[in-house]
Every structure is written in C-alpha cells, then in structure tokens.
Amino acid sequence: MYFVANWKMNPPTLAEAERLLKQVKAQLRIVRDGAEANIVICPPSIFFSKIAKSNNLIKFGVQNINWEERGSFTGETSILMAKDFGAEYCLVGHSERKIYFGENSLLANKKIKLCLEKGLTPIYCIGETLEEKQRGQTRKIIQEQLKVGLKDIGWMGMKHIIIAYEPIWAIGTQNGAGAANPDNVLEISILIRKILFDIYDQKTARKTIVLYGGSVTPKNVISYLQNNSSNGFLIGSASLNASDFVSIIKKSTIQKNVS
C-alpha cells in the first residue's frame, strides 16, 4: 500500500519541518515491522535539501515541477533540481494547482512525460469539482483527465504511474467531515480501471496503483479499505500531525493483513 503525505505549504519553518519528520520516523519504526507500506513525503521544495534523505522507511517527492527541464521560469522547480536533491516521486495535476494556477490535463500530460523520461514516479491527481459532481459530470471529467493526461503514454509507461482520485470538493475539510463516501470511491476506482482497460488492456487496468485523497483521517481510513476501493492514500492535513499520519498507516496495514 502507498501512503503519500502532501505537506502543501507547511510547516512555516524548517525547524518545525525537521521536528515533524523526526516524529514520523520515530513512530514509524514501531509500526513498520512486517508491514507492507510504501511511504512518500512531499515537503515544500524549499525544505527539500535539508530534510529529504530517503531511507528504508521513507521516500520523498516534490509537490510540483515545471513542464520544461530547464529555462527562464521564475519561481518554478525543475525536474533536474528535484532529482539532484533525491526526489523519487512528483505530484502532478494536484487540484490546488488546477484551482489556483489554472493547470489542466494537457499540462499534466507534459509533466507526466517529463517525469517518466527522467525517472521520477508521477502521482497523477484527478477529480471533479462540487459543481461538476452536482451536474452529474463526474464520469465525463474523470474520463477526460485520464485520456488527455495519459495521451501518448504507452503501457510500459503506465507501470511507473500512480493515479490518485482526489475529488476537489472533499479536500481540506475539518476532521474528515467532507470526505467522499467509501462506496463512491469504490465506484470511481472501478471507473478508473475501466477507462484504463479501454485505453490499454486488462493487465494494465488491474495493476495500476489507484489512491484516494480527500480528508482522509485515522477515523475514516478503515471505511475505504473494507471494500478494497484503493491501494492507499494521498494525505493532506492529517500528514501534518505525526500521530495521525502514522495511525493511518498502522490501521491500514493491520486491516490489510486481516483481510
């Protein structure tokens, strides 16, 4: 299972980021014995050189890259910089990039291709807005994001891509109150695999890692595992609390072993 922590624009200081990472590592050493967990932390890029030292417990990813590997793009992070500091993963198309910076599936496609070319694993975020959901457009939106975002990427490339279903309306709500219904997540997971089957083949659809992201907490995580709706989670707010983040991992791995 995959557990991807997206710290977003947090914490505000390097000292707090170092403290959070230290707490996560300390608690993970207790949990990880025998647990099959792939743990990825995506900190702010400005902290990367200080805290992102991959080991057998944790791998690291960047929250975004530019679609070009080099050039005059003020404020951007290049994939060459990310790799030089040890990044192994990259979030692509996160909903907040869509909302605040106008990014779309065409741009995501460029970033995914660049990640594959340079050896980073892209975590491609897809999902609908509340308005699109209310209009009954979820299926159409998911289909467009997958077909455009994965355009001209062959089945070999898909072996190195993670899909994260992240409904925009479910992100950032307090205490997981706005999280998607588990049955809805299962329905979308099945839809994603059906679309991948149509684009590629049955094996690719079955093997692709599909995560859920959107107000995941220790309280609701088990509900997403009981129906096998996802292969793990993209975790936002809860990843900023070491106990909550590790609790999600612990509960998930225990549930996985039971089932």
Q: Which residues are catalytic?
A: 94, 166
> Three-state SS for 209?
strand
Residue closest to 70 by CA, chosen among 84, 86, 50: 84
Q: What residues pair up with 212 in beta bridges, in sequence order?
A: 165, 233
Query: Long-range contacts made by residues 76-82, C-beta under 8 angstroms, separation at least 24?
Result: 77/45, 79/114, 79/115, 79/118, 79/120, 80/118, 81/45, 82/45, 82/48, 82/120
DSSP letter string over 64-83? ---SSSSSS-TT---HHHHH
* Rounded (10°) CA dihedral 58, 64, 69, 70: -120
Distant-in-sequence, close-in-space partners of 204: CB < 8 Å, separation ≥ 6 = 155, 158, 196, 197
